[in-house]
Structure 1
Amino acid sequence: MKVILIEDVKTLGKKGDTVNVNDGYARNFILPKKLGIEATAKNINDLKLQKANEEKVAKEILEAAKAFAEDIKEKSVTVTIKTGEGGKTFGSVSSKEIAAAYKSQLNIEIDKKKLQLAEPVRSLGVYKVPYKVHPKVTAELTVKVAEA
């Protein structure tokens, strides 16, 4: 019996796969537990339409992420940090402070967890901070660190 999987089944396959299983396995396990549906012409067509819709939505999200990355690339924020004699800094600038600066100065919400800051910034200057907008899109944020 051909079955379209609704959920991932460890030994059979992933969600959306069409698999061939024994009739008893399908009737007694897969169908009652709602792990799959019988592969009729209507169900196969519905699966194709659903996959096409998911691809379209994924493409739109990717395009929006690319547009956001281009938009944010040209903008920059300034974060201030206390300094002592000789330009020695007290403390550091973390991803939380960078996200707060984007919110207050540019009114752009960014997730501090998606900022790929290897270590906190401990000196004055201009920094390019990678920001993971989408799994396939990384934007470069410009952060200027100045003394308070």
Structure 2
Amino acid sequence: MKVILTSDVKPLGNRGALVDVKDGYAHNYLLPQKLAVVATPGAMKQLEQQQNAKKRKQAEEVANAQDIATQLEQITIRVAAKAGGNGRLFGTVTNTQVADALQEQLNVTIDRHKIEMKDGIKALGTYPVEIRLGNNIVAKSAVQVVALK
């Protein structure tokens, strides 16, 4: 019997997969537990529409991430921090501060966990950062740390 999985089932497959199972397994386990529906022509058409919608949404997310990546690569993110006379900072500049600066400068919300710096920035200057935007898109930008006035 052909069924469409409505949730992930470990030995069979992931949600949305069309699988062929024995009638007893389908009638006694998958259908009563609402883990699958019978693969009727209407259900197949609905599955196809859901897959097309998922592809469109993913393509839109990739396009948005690429737009943000081009914006990020063209700018230098400015972060102001308290510094001593020799250019050393009182503390460090963290990825949270970089995320806040991005919110202020570009009005783009990026999770601080997606911003990768080698170490915490401890001196004035310009430092490279990588920002992971999802879908294997990585933007390389620079953070310029300036003295707080």
Identity of aligned residues (%): 34
Q: Residues 35, 116 of structure 1: CA spacing in aligned structure 2 closer, same or farther, 3 A cutoff?
A: same
Q: Which is richer in strand?
A: 2
Which residue is 1:118 aligned to? 118
Aligned length: 148
Measured after TM superposition, the shift of residue 31 of structure 1 is: 0.5
Which residue is 1:32 aligned to? 32
Measured after TM superposition, the shift of residue 57 of structure 1 is: 1.1
Provide the rounded CA distance (Å) in 2 between the counterparts of 1:99 and 1:13: 38
Measured after TM superposition, the shift of residue 125 of structure 1 is: 1.1
Which residue is 2:66 aligned to? 66
Normalised to the residue count of structure 2, the TM-score between the two structures is 0.88
Measured after TM superposition, the shift of residue 38 of structure 1 is: 0.6
Cα deviation per residue 1:89-133 (whole Å; 9 max; x = unaligned)? Answer: 321100111122222344332221211123211122112211111
User: Is 1:50 equivalent to 2:53 in the alignment?
Assistant: no
Is residue 83–residue 124 contact of structure 2 (8 Å, CA) maintained in 1?
A: no
Provide the rounded CA distance (Å) in 1 between the counterparts of 2:143 and 2:59: 30
State the SS of the aligned residue for 2:123.
coil
Q: What are the within-5 Å matches in structure 2 for residues 82-121 of structure 1?
A: 82-121=82-121
Measured after TM superposition, the shift of residue 85 of structure 1 is: 4.2
Cα deviation per residue 1:30-74 (whole Å; 9 max; x = unaligned)? Answer: 011110011122212221221112111101110111011112221
Which letter maps to 1:62?
Answer: V
Which residue is 1:3 aligned to? 3
Cα deviation per residue 1:71-93 (whole Å; 9 max; x = unaligned)? Answer: 22212232223333433332110
Normalised to the residue count of structure 1, the TM-score between the two structures is 0.89
Q: Residues 28, 130 of structure 1: CA spacing in aligned structure 2 closer, same or farther, 3 A cutoff?
A: same
State the SS of the aligned residue for 1:103.
helix
Provide the rounded CA distance (Å) in 2 between the counterparts of 1:63 and 1:104: 23
Measured after TM superposition, the shift of residue 141 of structure 1 is: 2.8
Which letter maps to 2:16?
Answer: G
Where structure 2 has 5 or more consecutive residues not aligned to the other structure, the ranges are none
Provide the rounded CA distance (Å) in 2 between the counterparts of 1:85 and 1:73: 31
Where structure 1 has 5 or more consecutive residues not aligned to the other structure, the ranges are none
Query: What is the alpha-carbon root mean square deviation over aligned residues?
Result: 1.7
Which letter maps to 2:131?
Answer: Y
